[in-house]
Amino acid sequence: METKQATRIQTSVLHNAEKKALTWLAVRQPEWVTSDTMTFIGILGAIVIATGYILTNVNINFLWLASLGFVINWYGDSLDGTLARIRNKQRPTYGFYIDHTVDCLNECLMCIGIGLSAFMHFPIAMIVLVLYLLLTINVLMNTYLKQEFKLDIAKIGPTELRLIVIIANTIMVLVKPLRDYSLPVALQGKVVELTTLDLIGIGIIVIMLVMLVVTMYRDAKYYAKIDPKP
């Protein structure tokens, strides 16, 4: 099967610097390291992230482990495609399937981990996951229909998101009043204590929901024009 590759659209803040760094790393990988090896490292990073967050129920300092997991995940997830392109060993059909299937698996591991941590209620983490997967589905549908693969939204891509979370983890470790803060909210006759990360998660949910609605509306108008009513 011959697969026509979609045009990659990357406008994220760190894209240019990241591209240079990934190229530098890719050309220095030993021959036995393959794109599949990098994909596996990305999964390993997601497992480390989830483990670190879950272990915060034991000790706050396991947030450092979660942050290390984000670095490992970036290394594997970002280098798998770059390595294939540098070595001219691209497999468009296989690569597209594996890359995006594994990405969704990784996101599930990360969100489940943070939902089981000491800092975010599980339902909030799951809503974040659902909205992220819905946005991912939208990107993949547009990749098929428009032959355009947009890797970021509002100049924020996966790398920027990882960096933001690492900064948030660091602040939570170092600033005790923030991690101890809680806002009591009455919900269905019960009082729920919302943590700082709960409130951040709710903010992310609102932003992602707006992004999803705007994107769906814009894309629906675009497709209505190229596929009008008979």
| Domain range summary for the chain, segments of one domain joined by + | 7-226
- Average pLDDT, rounded, for the chain: 87
pLDDT tens digits, residue range 135-193? 889 888 888 887 776 666 666 778 888 888 899 899 999 998 988 888 888 777 788 88
Query: Please, which pLDDT band fits residue 116 given cuts at 50, 70 and 90?
Result: very high
pLDDT band for position 4 (50/70/90)?
low
Task: Round to the nearest angstrom and report the end-to-end CA distance of the chain.
Answer: 33
Using alpha carbons, select from 42, 212, 50, 60 the residue that is nearest to residue 127. Answer: 212
* pLDDT 10s digits, 37-53: 999 999 999 999 999 99
**Architecture label for domain 7-226:** Up-down Bundle (1.20)
The three-state secondary structure class of 156 is strand
CB atoms within 10 A of CB 211: 17
Q: What's the sign of the alpha-carbon dihedral 193, 111, 44, 171?
A: negative
- 99 has pLDDT over 50: yes
Measure the CA–CA gap between 205 and 225, rounded to whole angstroms.
30
Give strand ranges (E) for the chain: 7-9, 148-150, 182-187, 190-195
DSSP at 148: E
Tokens of 77: 């997830």
Cα 51 from Cα 73, distance rounded (Å)? 13
